[in-house]
Structure 1
Amino acid sequence: MNNRYAVMDLGTNTFHLLIAEAGTLGFNEIVHEEEAVKLGEGGINKGSIVPAAFERGIKTMERFGGLIKNNNVQQVRAIATSALRSAANGGDFIRQVKEKTGIGIEIINGDQEAAFIYKGVKASGCLTKQRSIIVDIGGGSVEFIICDDSTVYWKQSFEIGAARLMDKFHRTDPIPPESITALNLYLQDQLQSLFEAVKKFPVHTLVGSSGSFESYTGLIETAKGHAFDLKTIKSYEFNMDELLALIEQVVLSTHQERIENPGIIPVRKDMIVTASILARFILEKLKISKVMMTTHSLKEGVLAAMMG
């Protein structure tokens, strides 16, 4: 019997469960579930998890606990990031999950989060000897990692995730031009240490880790009439003109247009706007000439660490 591992990535928007066993080429996926818990909804910038989100989170963890039990898992890790890190009632949530499911949740800091993301992206095989910048846009935080396939040169986590930006800047829909300007100025101010790092370690390739970058991949490929399944690929290279045109389209879109677009999963229907403004800001500011997407992120990094 192969040793089975379960990893949960408890993000601000989505809770992920990955159950896998060691395979000849990394790991074989047994269960991959994601639930739009929206833990940050209604309270992310106020520093608390509102009761409805708290309840959704507990219910999801009970469901994940059942799947772990039914799949004969030997080792379990549940990793919590920005929303639980910054919520005053995060400790209550962790206690209730432990009581109801027996699952112990670890809260990691932004630096540990970036380290796991690097491990996960590296395991996808899309890093090379050339220096790249990995960007992981979450709901609560955004991680930037300057690296190649063997070295991390610089990494930092910023509490400027898409849910936080939406709460601050995207209050009417479609987002007005003055809000886009205000958001860009805010990013310019917040990301000074990133600009300094890129001066020191220049990069031309950006690797977008899962999230909105998966949505962009699906939207571009589906528009070309290609049958497309994210589960079957680990990485994808964008055509820059196509990507920038799509980002512009998303930023200008109405809520109704996003709801009717099957290429955008429900949990991203609103947050994809601020995530796209952030992505475009980074691409233009860092003068990026090549963009890749990888489906690997934090949970694959935690799995790689568990499998040694």
Structure 2
Amino acid sequence: MTASIAAIDLGSNSFHLLVARPMNKGIQVIDQDKEMVRLASGLQADRSIDSETKERALVCLSRFGQHIRHISPDAIRIVGTNTLRAARKSNKFIKQAQLLLGHEIEIISGIEEARLIYLGVAHSIASNNGRRMVVDIGGGSTEIIVGERFEPLRMESLYMGCVSMTQRYFSDGNVSEKRVAKARLTAMLELEPHINLFRELGWTDSIGASGTARAVEYVARANGWGNGEINAAALANIIQSYIQAGSLVQTKLEGLKAERAPVFLGGAIILAAIFEAFEIQTMMVSSGALREGLLYDLIGRSQKKSTRQQTVVDLGKRYKLDGEQARRVENTAVALWKQVAPDTPLLNIDCEKMLGWAARLHELGLSIAHSQHHKHAGYILRHADLFGFSWQEQQVLAAIVQSHRRSFPEDIFNRLPERWRSKAVKLSLFLRLAVILHRSRSQATVSTPICQLTEKSIKLIFADKWLQQHPLTRVDLEEEARRLSKRDIELSFE
């Protein structure tokens, strides 16, 4: 990959764009943009985003769209984080945003966000052999990771951020010592269940990432409280200056940008609580974070170092899946797909990967119970932390796996992102047929039939007399034809 690659981070406080060119030892930034949209401040009680915030966001994304128009779609990743995870009524906004950007927006989990943040930080600081703690305080969530070199060892995403903390305790703009104490106690309570778990791992260096940490370091340096690092005394001075001012916007802090002032205190309180909880003395600040992590993850995908592939392998090991059976089913399902893909919208590398992963994991639910195991598998895939997968990708994978046997429920697919609905139905058909052809679990090679696919029909043409020699498979196919007919899909075979 030598052409430009791009990452857009739709954060709860700010939207960030980063365009870079992969180099031998990293990336070369060629364009970047940022706007403090404060998406979290526009999240209403009913989980919708208010019109003023939407307008502000869409104007920003229209500008971002112009920056990435010349870049290949396969070289772009756009992710939404905490606020878009929480905004259950944001479908219309996301569709508008995708039109302006010309690209799909992935909603990622808090743990996936943490993984990508750590990846970005690990590539942005000098390498050492010690463990490090990485802290990223966003607008609506805080990610804490302990890792070694490029490998995260423990990750947490906590439901508190600079915007949400400010809204909860300082929504009227007034600041008092009592309010600050309550906010700090809230942060400590959020941290409490995780303190010992992180301490057991231990770390040498503490690193802050993204806007809050950078702003704290800059303000500390501008006021003579630090020299390139963050310390507990500087945080105490920052918080005290707000208490003395009694206001979010009238504090006399040198180096504090006007646009960050309204949410800066919430972030500083969270960071001070983290210093106290983990007994941190000093914290360095990284230039890399989520968007850099997205770019390095994108480079890894192009170089076959797929985090998603490793996640599938790890799931197979954790749940002790029959790898040989999974590979047999995968090979047949993909072989069926390849026959029809050139003539359909299925000619897409993501379709082949998704089908392969679904085949590898289709027996995941057997670890819980044989009865309804397809539903158990769907639940696991829908709700587990799957590193490398966006929320939408998890739903697609879960739908294909859950529908690989028994009934073929329409509602599972109707809940998927629009661009995946029809594709997921067809991919599920290939998986269902491959499972039937390998039901005996025999190691003998199954001759893949010729496959013909239309919008509402699928036809299999077997080698001469093959069905006569495999009467049980014929019976299974007849039963499958009856099931599919209930969805107005015609299965025929000869």
Scaled to the shorter chain, the TM-score interval is 0.7 to 0.9
State how far apart, in whole Å, the 2-side matches of 1:222 and 1:140 are: 27
Question: What residue number does 1:283 align with?
Answer: 275
Q: How far is 1:191 from its partner?
A: 1.9
State how far apart, in whole Å, the 1-side matches of 2:56 and 2:172 are: 26
Q: Is 1:58 matched up with 2:58?
A: yes
- Structure 2: which 5+ residue stretches go unaligned? 301-494
Conserved? CA contact 2:145–2:156, under 8 Å:
yes
State how far apart, in whole Å, the 2-side matches of 1:288 and 1:237 are: 12
CA, structure 1 residues 5+185, in 2 after alignment: closer, same or farther (shift >3 Å)?
A: same
Conserved? CA contact 1:44–1:140, under 8 Å:
no
Conserved? CA contact 2:41–2:164, under 8 Å:
no
What residue identity is the alignment partner of 2:35?
A: E
Q: TM-score, normalised by structure 1?
A: 0.87
Conserved? CA contact 1:137–1:275, under 8 Å:
yes
Conserved? CA contact 2:238–2:268, under 8 Å:
no
Conserved? CA contact 2:9–2:17, under 8 Å:
yes
Helix, strand or coil at the partner of 2:69: helix
Q: How far is 1:45 from its partner?
A: 5.9
What residue identity is the alignment partner of 1:279?
A: L
Q: Is 1:176 matched up with 2:176?
A: yes
Conserved? CA contact 1:143–1:156, under 8 Å:
yes
Conserved? CA contact 1:251–1:276, under 8 Å:
no
Conserved? CA contact 1:142–1:159, under 8 Å:
yes
- 2:261 is aligned, of 240, 258, 269, to 269
State how far apart, in whole Å, the 1-side matches of 2:242 and 2:73 are: 40
Helix, strand or coil at the partner of 1:175: coil
What residue identity is the alignment partner of 2:15?
A: F
Deviates more, 1:213-222 or 1:24-33: 213-222
Question: What residue number does 1:162 align with?
Answer: 162
Q: TM-score, normalised by structure 2?
A: 0.56
Q: How far is 1:183 from its partner?
A: 1.5
What residue identity is the alignment partner of 1:255?
A: L
Q: Deviations over 1:197-226 (max 9, x none)?
A: 1232234532110212211222233445xx
What residue identity is the alignment partner of 1:185?
A: L
- 1:299 is aligned, of 278, 291, 298, to 291
Helix, strand or coil at the partner of 2:184: helix
Paired residues, number: 298
Helix, strand or coil at the partner of 2:296: helix
Q: How far is 1:257 from its partner?
A: 3.4
Q: Is 1:114 matched up with 2:114?
A: yes
Q: How far is 1:22 from its partner?
A: 1.1
- Give percent identity, aligned residues only: 27
Conserved? CA contact 1:205–1:288, under 8 Å:
no
Q: Deviations over 1:230-268 (max 9, x none)?
A: xxxxxx53455445434543565433435x756223442
State how far apart, in whole Å, the 1-side matches of 2:193 and 2:281 are: 21
State how far apart, in whole Å, the 2-side matches of 1:67 and 1:97 are: 14
State how far apart, in whole Å, the 2-side matches of 1:172 and 1:52 are: 19
Residues 242-261 of structure 1 mapped to structure 2, 5 A cutoff: 242=234, 244-249=236-241, 252-253=244-245, 254-258=247-251
CA, structure 1 residues 199+2, in 2 after alignment: closer, same or farther (shift >3 Å)?
A: closer
State how far apart, in whole Å, the 2-side matches of 1:252 and 1:274 are: 16
Q: How far is 1:134 from its partner?
A: 0.8
CA, structure 1 residues 180+241, in 2 after alignment: closer, same or farther (shift >3 Å)?
A: closer
Question: What residue number does 1:231 align with?
Answer: none
Residues 1-308 of structure 1 mapped to structure 2, 5 A cutoff: 2-43=2-43, 47-69=47-69, 75-126=75-126, 128-203=128-203, 205-223=205-223, 236-238=228-230, 241-242=233-234, 244-249=236-241, 252-253=244-245, 254-258=247-251, 263-308=255-300
Conserved? CA contact 2:5–2:75, under 8 Å:
yes
Conserved? CA contact 2:135–2:209, under 8 Å:
yes
Helix, strand or coil at the partner of 2:129: coil
Conserved? CA contact 1:44–1:164, under 8 Å:
no
Helix, strand or coil at the partner of 2:153: strand
CA, structure 1 residues 190+11, in 2 after alignment: closer, same or farther (shift >3 Å)?
A: same
Q: How far is 1:5 from its partner?
A: 0.6
Helix, strand or coil at the partner of 2:18: strand
CA, structure 1 residues 192+218, in 2 after alignment: closer, same or farther (shift >3 Å)?
A: closer
Higher helix share: 2
Q: Deviations over 1:27-65 (max 9, x none)?
A: 111111001111122426652211111111112111111
State how far apart, in whole Å, the 2-side matches of 1:216 and 1:89 are: 34
What residue identity is the alignment partner of 1:297?
A: A
What residue identity is the alignment partner of 1:184?
A: R
State how far apart, in whole Å, the 2-side matches of 1:186 and 1:222 are: 29
Q: How far is 1:178 from its partner?
A: 1.5
Conserved? CA contact 1:203–1:288, under 8 Å:
no
CA, structure 1 residues 84+267, in 2 after alignment: closer, same or farther (shift >3 Å)?
A: farther
Q: How far is 1:305 from its partner?
A: 0.8
State how far apart, in whole Å, the 2-side matches of 1:129 and 1:214 are: 24
Conserved? CA contact 1:45–1:164, under 8 Å:
no
What residue identity is the alignment partner of 2:170?
A: H
What residue identity is the alignment partner of 1:69?
A: R
Q: Deviations over 1:7-26 (max 9, x none)?
A: 00000111100011112431
